[in-house]
């Protein structure tokens, strides 16, 4: 129906192209990503999800993607909020979580999380690797299981990063942007103690870098390894010609925010997760 939200479990080839075009147009207009990387990847690869589309006079003007089995979570292209879409979604989901990105739209749901996007100009002075430790690159085919164990231990209580499976890692290492030279592992006594996975946004006009995933095994926390790995990751990005870098951090993670503040990171925007419960 024209000008109304409709849901498709799988996008047709035409719908998929319409969505990708809308995402690209939105990113140009906003000068930032239109949607979370994982949800964009779902569109790119044609994976099933709840794809919500809104056409007007035959032109796609709205898109949102809902996924998650334990807790349905939705995000609109552009990061906004639409009460009409919420009403449609709640016909099938009593409880739904909604991500907004730097949005001025008023949400009446329960605020669950605030995710901060921080940015820092490069270079940032690198902290030396501890004596006796070994800093090396991730080796596909060798390090997957070890890294998954270390990362999941570090993020045991994290809602998104604490339960990665091999398939989650495989999805990302198969992406065109994946470069193992930007994926650093720190070993102490032959044990993986910490890691820093970086990414270069090659197709963005500003070609910026990102600290994609950084973690320290709980057994090695309290040794300043977070600072070591962040600065070593930033040094790798600088060597690739990147002028500034970003990362996401939960606002509630005061320890990490204190570290990033001391390195010169500044707040660029806040994304918020709201929960809506149908009465």
CA triple 182-236-205, angle to 5 deg: 85
pLDDT of residue 1: 46
In 90-202, which ranges are continuous DSSP H helix? 144-154, 166-173
CATH for 5-108, among 2.40.50, 3.30.420, 3.40.630, 3.30.450? Answer: 3.40.630
Judge whether 5-108 and 119-270 match in fold.
yes
pTM of the complete model: 0.93
CATH number listed for the domain at residues 119-270: 3.40.630.30
pLDDT of residue 105: 61
First to last CA, the chain: 27
Give the C-alpha separation, 96 to 223, whole Å: 40
Give the C-alpha separation, 7 to 89, whole Å: 9
210 near 199, Cβ under 8 Å?
Answer: yes
Other CB atoms closer than 10 Å to residue 271's CB: what's the count? Answer: 19
Provide the residue ranges of all domains of the chain, joining segments of one domain with +: 5-108, 119-270
The Cα-based distances of 277 to 110, 147, 274 in angstroms read 9, 37, 10
User: Which pLDDT tens digits describe the chain residue by residue (279 residues)?
Assistant: 457 999 999 999 999 999 999 999 999 999 999 999 999 999 999 999 999 999 999 999 999 999 987 899 999 999 999 999 999 999 999 999 999 997 766 788 999 999 999 999 999 999 999 999 999 999 999 999 999 999 999 987 776 676 889 999 999 999 999 999 999 999 999 999 999 999 999 988 899 999 999 999 999 999 999 999 999 999 999 999 999 999 999 999 999 999 999 999 999 999 999 999 998
Residue whose tokens read 């926390």: 221
């Amino acid at each position: 129906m024209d000008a109304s939200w409709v849901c498709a479990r799988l996008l047709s080839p035409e719908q998929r192209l319409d969505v990708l075009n809308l995402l690209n147009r939105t990113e140009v207009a906003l000068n930032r990503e239109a949607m979370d990387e994982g949800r964009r990847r779902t569109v790119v690869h044609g994976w099933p999800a709840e794809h919500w589309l809104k056409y007007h006079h035959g032109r796609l003007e709205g898109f949102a993607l809902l996924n998650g089995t334990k807790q349905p979570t939705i995000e609109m292209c552009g990061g906004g909020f639409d009460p009409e879409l919420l009403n449609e979604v709640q016909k099938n989901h009593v409880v739904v979580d909604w991500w907004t990105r730097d949005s001025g739209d008023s949400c009446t749901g329960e605020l669950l999380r605030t995710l901060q996007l921080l940015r820092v100009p490069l270079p940032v002075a690198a902290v030396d690797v501890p004596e006796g430790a070994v800093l090396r690159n991730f080796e596909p085919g060798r390090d997957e299981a070890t890294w998954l164990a270390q990362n999941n231990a570090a993020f045991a209580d994290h809602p998104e990063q604490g339960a990665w499976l091999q398939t989650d890692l495989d999805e990302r290492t198969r992406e065109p942007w994946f470069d193992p030279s930007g994926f650093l592992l720190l070993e102490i006594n032959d044990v993986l103690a910490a890691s820093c996975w970086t990414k270069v946004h090659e197709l963005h006009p500003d070609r910026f870098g990102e600290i994609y995933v950084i973690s320290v095994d709980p057994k090695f926390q309290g040794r300043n390894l977070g600072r070591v790995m962040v600065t070593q990751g930033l040094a790798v990005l600088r060597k690739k010609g990147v002028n500034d870098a970003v990362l996401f951090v939960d606002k509630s993670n005061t320890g990490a925010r204190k570290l990033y503040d001391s390195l010169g990171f500044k707040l660029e925007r806040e994304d918020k997760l709201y929960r809506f419960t149908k009465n």
